[in-house]
Structure 1
Amino acid sequence: MHAFSDSTTATSTAVQVPPSLSLPVIEAAFPRRLHPYWPRLQDKTRAWLLQKRLMPADKVEEYADGLCYTDLMAGYYIGAPDDVLQAIADYSAWFFVWDDRHDRDIVHRRPAAWRRLRFRLHTALDSPEDHLHHEDPLVAAFADSVGRLFSFLPGTWNARFARHFHAVIEAYDQEFHNRMEGKVPTVEEYLELRRLTFAHSIWTDLLEPSVGMELPESVRKYPAYRRAALLSQEFAAWYNDLCSFPKEIAGDEVHNLGISLITHKGLTLEETIAEVRRRVEDCISDFLVAEREALEFAGLLADGTPRGAELGTAVRACVGNMRNWFSSVYWFHHESGRYRVDSWDDRSTPPYVNNEAAGEL
């Protein structure tokens, strides 16, 4: 398997990117690609959202394709077997719906509902097969998607994924309490929390089933590999902060790098946008260095043995997909209806959420 499979297709986009969010280096040096399975992926994830009752039928019909959740994953895990990509895409769609439920529980001040969901997710993560028919569709769909993800690699990978996602759930709980109390974390606190709420480790873990093998710890923790993985995720998190700034200010959010910079560093709005952009651009330039070093490492792994060849190929594929994440994230933010705040009737209420009913179970 090559870093970029022969079956991948380069794509172009006619979307106009606002100058304040434009990153010419991404458009020029990070070609956008989509997994060839993408059209079926979109159809199947839309059907899964309906089957699992994660969104009302009218919301799925009107908004699911325009939210572009499957585009994001199809642009990232290039070379993944179709069933692996489908499981990842369904899990990713679930993640966005969970994020929306979390947000609505905060907006409508439902701490009991959130606490109940938090504990149910922890339990379902440890035994997904026991929660496939849970009364809360969000829990049942989570169990379904996680159970499928657990079928691809050994139990050691499953345990690592579960450990990482338990930490994500707890980070969402911290964010819940911060928002309920109106507490804006410091920049340092925010950066640490953001790596968890954005699930840096999860999306990196999922590179492995995409290449069909669990990487040894010595490979995963090799400095250049870890740094390339981290920078790809940091770029995504901070670019998301830049793009979602209007949405989160409208929704009285407290979790955004820009909001922390304004609150704790005393920056003006203009200075804040410039600082977040600088961090985003530094991620790109630093990644290019780490990418080169990680690919050199892949070459060293290919030591002439069959195992070495397998590892070297897998690492090249994973690093190639880290690169794909930049363009996939970038275009997702300009194509997805998730960030078109100006078109919403209420800038604080996304039109694709089931605003009142969620969380009452």
Structure 2
Amino acid sequence: MPADKVAEYADALCYTDLVAGYYVDAPDEVVSAIADFSTWFFVWDDRHDRDAVHGRADAWRTLREHLHAALDDPESHGDHHDPLVAAFAECVQRLFSHLGPAWNARFARHFHAVIEAYDQEFTNRRTGTVPTVGAYIELRRHTFAHHVWLDLLELAADHELPDAVRNHPEYRRAGLASQDFSAWYNDLCSLPKEIAGDEVHNLGISLIQHEKISLEGAVAEVRLRAASRITEFLEAEREVLRMAEEAEDGTHEGDALGAGLRMCLFNMRNWFSSVYWFHHESGRYRVDTWDDRSTPPYISDPAGDA
């Protein structure tokens, strides 16, 4: 975004407001780091989109390699010549300064998978491949960065959950429900833009292509699927609250675990309202006001070299 577009559009995009609702009660320096990382994610997503639209395969491949390298060694990439890589490295360093090596390694592992999922999206877009509904849902769980956002719940709570808690079926069920709702509601609100831009990655588009249903039917189905995740979360939430009660045994360790678990669950719940609010407040989805419904007006879009 050039400076004039930043001045005109940045505040209305509401990127940092979104994270403030996702990670309630996080310390200021933590929510600031997560908000900057989230803003970076949106910018990266737009770069990826433009590289795919213009067929910039070499540029995308180079960026992908540099992001993997910056994730493995963020300290040495802070002055990278590509501002997107340098900003990513700076965000990662800030995120890595709170919980310790085990959490950092897990976050890195999860984000490496996100980068590779974006690469799969790039290939699909260049070949015009619309994933089946099942394949799309699995890919979307990586491109939406489900596991990364769930990792950041622990950062907001200032408590690294033990593997036995994170991998408990009900905790995983609650987290997956919150993230699936968010991703699929995003698909619902992005559908007009993505149809206009001949996109191939959207739950609605996969339903239209592979289930042979109408646009109206696909919209209704995405709404139903998103709503089902609210029900799924509410059922899992009760079980996770029981886990927190059982952890709170009067010991310092048990009470800290219970408090951390409650805060992670509380902010999973906050994802639902924050996602809903964001998609109706952010200028990112107001396609009816754009001259070109496929291209947001705040993006500079030179074709460049492929």
TM-score, L = length of structure 2: 0.98
Tell me the distance in 2 between the aligned counterparts of 1:120 and 1:204: 24
| Residue type at the aligned position of 1:212 | D
Runs of 4+ aligned structure 1 residues displaced above 6 Å come to none
Q: CA deviation at 1:69?
A: 0.3
Aligned residue in 2 for 1:219:
165
Aligned residue in 2 for 1:330:
276
1:99-134 deviation per Cα after TM superposition (whole angstroms, max 9, x unaligned): 000000011110010000000000000000100000
1:230-258 deviation per Cα after TM superposition (whole angstroms, max 9, x unaligned): 10000000111111110100111000001
| Residue type at the aligned position of 1:119 | E
| Residue type at the aligned position of 2:153 | L
Q: Which runs of 5+ in 2 are unaligned?
A: none
Tell me the distance in 2 between the aligned counterparts of 1:221 and 1:184: 32
SS in 2 for 1:75: helix
The answer (yes or no) to whether the contact 2:193–2:295 under 8 Å persists in 1 is no
Root mean square deviation, CA, Å: 1.2
More helix as a share of residues: 2
Q: CA deviation at 1:354?
A: 2.1
1:341 aligns to 2:287 (yes or no)? yes
Aligned residue in 2 for 1:292:
238
| Residue type at the aligned position of 1:167 | A
Aligned residue in 2 for 1:351:
297
Aligned residue in 1 for 2:72:
126
How many residues end up aligned between the 2 structures?
306
1:319-344 deviation per Cα after TM superposition (whole angstroms, max 9, x unaligned): 00000010000010000000011111
Match of 1:143 among 89, 94, 110: 89
Aligned residue in 2 for 1:193:
139
Tell me the distance in 2 between the aligned counterparts of 1:348 and 1:270: 20
TM-score, L = length of structure 1: 0.83
Q: CA deviation at 1:56?
A: 2.2
1:13-51 deviation per Cα after TM superposition (whole angstroms, max 9, x unaligned): xxxxxxxxxxxxxxxxxxxxxxxxxxxxxxxxxxxxxxx
1:92 aligns to 2:38 (yes or no)? yes
Aligned residue in 1 for 2:54:
108
SS in 2 for 1:66: helix
| Residue type at the aligned position of 1:59 | K
Q: CA deviation at 1:146?
A: 0.6
Once the two structures are superposed, the pairs formed by residues 40-79 of structure 1 within 5 Å of their partners are 55-79=1-25
Tell me the distance in 2 between the aligned counterparts of 1:223 and 1:139: 36
Aligned residue in 2 for 1:154:
100
Tell me the distance in 1 between the aligned counterparts of 2:4 and 2:137: 37
Instruction: Using the aligned pairs only, state the percent identity.
Output: 69
The answer (yes or no) to whether the contact 2:23–2:156 under 8 Å persists in 1 is yes
1:210 aligns to 2:162 (yes or no)? no
Q: CA deviation at 1:360?
A: 6.1
